[in-house]
Chain A
Amino acid sequence: MDIKTKALLKSPWVFHLSTGSCNNCDIEVLDCLTPRFDIERFGMILAGSIKHADVLLVTGSCNRQSAIRLKRLYEQVSKPVFVVAIGECSLSRGMFIHSYNCPVPLDKIIPVDVYIPGCPPKPEAIIAGVVKMIEKVKAADKAKKK
């Protein structure tokens, strides 16, 4: 693994992006920053601007209005970037699956690296999901070497 990827995995700055969620997932994301969970141990901090982000935490059901904005925001992140879909809504649109306003799930709009199910997922689940993402990147790097 080269030093760039190594450093990226040790300090992933997260940006928290809501595409029309009910705010439950967003509150659980913020819970990760509290003293009980403290994700700054792993070098994660909440980035204020999308251009500083390495990981996009996307919540919500991607309605017609926010899907366009989501695409535009994804284009504005400096690559390499990982996308984490949090909550049932962003995974499969949840209870809005038959809604006229939610045409496609998140992974049909932008590439998604990790899915974290739950309505809302616990902070433990979110941390476990991010750890899985890190392991996935490491495994992909090993496979590339072989």
Chain B
Amino acid sequence: MVLSHLYFLVIFGFLLTGCIGLLASWIDRKVTARVQYRVGPPILQPFLDIIKLLGKETLMPAGASKVTFFLAPALGVSGVILASTLLWLNVLNTQETFIGDLIVVIYLLTIPSLSLIIGGFASRNPLASLGASREMKLILSYELPFILALLVPVIHSGLTIKLGGILNYQAQNGIILNSVSGFIAWAVVMLCIQAKLGLVPFDIAEAETEITSGPLIEYSGPALALFKLMKSMLLFTLPFFVMIMFLGGLNWEGIHLLWGFLKYIGLVALITVIRNTNPRVRIDHAVRFFWGPMTLLAVLAIFLAVKGY
């Protein structure tokens, strides 16, 4: 029992998620390059970046807290691994996990952002602290509409808070995106994911041109590689989560697998296009955006879902 779960953690949670995530970050960079009429990097570029960073020297800023500084990236990566393992378990067998795993996944998905905050504050750099405090405000702003919008699939599938139950409902009654409330909630979740991934227009915490990559500024070598890996794995885990909640997950039988792949690549491409066609917003604009229109839309979606639309 323990051994089989360890197998899921290593093979699916870490290796498969890491590989697909790094490939997805290549898709992201390539699409960005094509949007800007460039050629873009070769397909193995994200892997090479990680290997190169693993071979570089690790520096620690003077006066920083050593344990916190180096534990933060490990914390972030382990959070993503656990979340993606739970998602994979549900896709492989909808009866596998426990009631309430949706709540656990939502909880685990905030750990990467928390690790960025911890690492930023531990590195004793004013720009990193600035980035970390912005990240904190961003979490406070997007969590509310994110969770409200995720209530819509829960209501549709008869108040089940089990990911497997939501998948089973969609397998029998068609995907949740097809309903009006489902579509509105999906749009809200996509924008929240953009903020969770830290991509433009919500890359306020890491603004490269403004506070030179924020919480990551003092990280170098393997610690930075872990953070890069965490970001790539999030680029797999979050769209995968959206697929499970709104698009019916992944079907393993024959041609359906290809259809699942296309759904995933489509979501990544959509995220990339949003990232490339928008300027960065200010932190107060972001908070107002998420607490104002996004929360209202999410509440409207819940209302419509309760009414049965």
Contact B37 A35 (CB under 8 A): yes
Chain A residues contacting B55 (CB-CB under 8 Å) are 3-4, 7-8
Q: How far is the CB of B162 from chain A (nearest CB, A)?
A: 42
Chain B residues contacting A99 (CB-CB under 8 Å) are none
Chain A residues contacting B59 (CB-CB under 8 Å) are 51, 76, 78
Given A52-B213, A52-B220, A11 and B208 contact (CB-CB distance below 8 Å): no
Least CB separation from A5: chain B residue: B55
Contact A80 B48 (CB under 8 A): no
Type the 1/0 row for B28-45, where 1 means its CB is closer than 8 Å to any CB of A: 010001001111111001
Q: How far is the CB of A13 from chain B (nearest CB, A)?
A: 8
The reply to whether the CB of B218 lies closer than 8 angstroms to some CB of chain A is: yes
Q: How far is the CB of A10 from chain B (nearest CB, A)?
A: 5
Interface size on B, residues (CB 8 A): 31
Chain A residues contacting B97 (CB-CB under 8 Å) are none
Chain B residues contacting A7 (CB-CB under 8 Å) are 48-49, 51-52, 55
Q: How far is the CB of B276 from chain A (nearest CB, A)?
A: 13
The reply to whether the CB of B216 lies closer than 8 angstroms to some CB of chain A is: yes
Contact A3 B56 (CB under 8 A): no
Which among A11, A41, A43 has the greatest number of chain B C-beta atoms within 10 A? A11
Chain B residues contacting A49 (CB-CB under 8 Å) are 212-213, 216-218
Enumerate A41-86 residues with CB–CB distance to B below 8 Å.
41, 43, 48-49, 51-52, 54, 76, 78-80
Contact B220 A11 (CB under 8 A): no
Contact A78 B57 (CB under 8 A): yes
Contact A11 B48 (CB under 8 A): yes
The reply to whether the CB of B165 lies closer than 8 angstroms to some CB of chain A is: no
Chain A residues contacting B163 (CB-CB under 8 Å) are none
Contact B51 A48 (CB under 8 A): no
Chain B residues contacting A79 (CB-CB under 8 Å) are 56-57
Residue contacts A-B, CB under 8 angstroms, 20 given: A4-B52, A4-B54, A4-B55, A7-B49, A8-B56, A11-B52, A38-B39, A38-B40, A40-B39, A40-B41, A41-B38, A41-B39, A43-B48, A49-B216, A51-B218, A52-B220, A76-B59, A78-B56, A78-B59, A78-B221
